[in-house]
Amino acid sequence: MSYKLEKPYTDVQYADFVVEHNHQNGRNIEITEDAAYALEPNEMLGEDGVPVINPNYEAELAQKKRARLDKLNLTAADVERAIYKAKGMDFEDVIKKVEELNSDTNPSTSIDIKALKIELKANNFYRGNPYINAVGTLLGFTSEQLDEFFETNDYTKLV
């Protein structure tokens, strides 16, 4: 539920409004010709300048969450250690498994092995790197497991 401070208001009234609704309660402050509004995260100003529920809020929230997760990173040692603890494999074993799958006639499992070898030499592994999903799927990890692992650096999330 949004809150409204109608004009005219004093600088002190506006400051109190901002402190109460933005600083203390995390609402977004929007100013129109007639008033200042304190909007909840799922609200926005409609075309008529009146607060409405943002119909895209859930999708926008999911997109922000995905963007945050994709920026998470772990060291190569963290990732290799986790794969070893969860699957008993190191990066060399992963490369062999990819090579075996690439020799199959199934193009959906094809991973560019040279590019993968380059990726595995990186100092940091970013969750948003498509090779993370490709290799994770190959090893039987779900996207959710990989997200949790990158958030916590806890290999048990991969078991």
* Structure letter (DSSP) for residue 120: H
Mean of the per-residue pLDDT values for the chain? 95
Predicted confidence at residue 110, as pLDDT, reads 75
Mind listing the pLDDT tens digit for each residue in 31-62? 999 999 999 999 999 999 999 999 999 999 99
CA distances from 81 to 114, 131, 142 (A): 22, 17, 18
Average pLDDT score over residue span 104-126: 85
Pseudo-torsion of CA 142, 152, 60, 28, nearest 10°? 170
Distance, in Å, from the CA atom of 53 to the CA atom of 41, rounded to the nearest integer, reads: 9
Measured over the CA atoms of residue 111, residue 115, residue 120 and residue 125, the dihedral's sign is negative
**Does the reported pTM lie above 0.85?**
no
pLDDT at residue 107 tops 80: no
Look at 75 and 100; give whichever has higher pLDDT: 75
- The Cα 56–Cα 59 span in angstroms is 5
Q: Which residues pair with 29 in a beta bridge?
A: 38
pLDDT of residue 8 exceeding 70, the answer is yes
Q: How far is CA 93 from CA 21, 52, 100, in A?
A: 55, 54, 11
Q: 10 Å Cβ neighbour count for 41?
A: 12
State the pLDDT at residue 103.
Answer: 75
Residue 156: pLDDT band with limits 50, 70, 90: very high
Residue 130 confidence (pLDDT) above 70: yes
If DSSP codes are grouped into helix, strand and coil, which group holds residue 65? Answer: helix
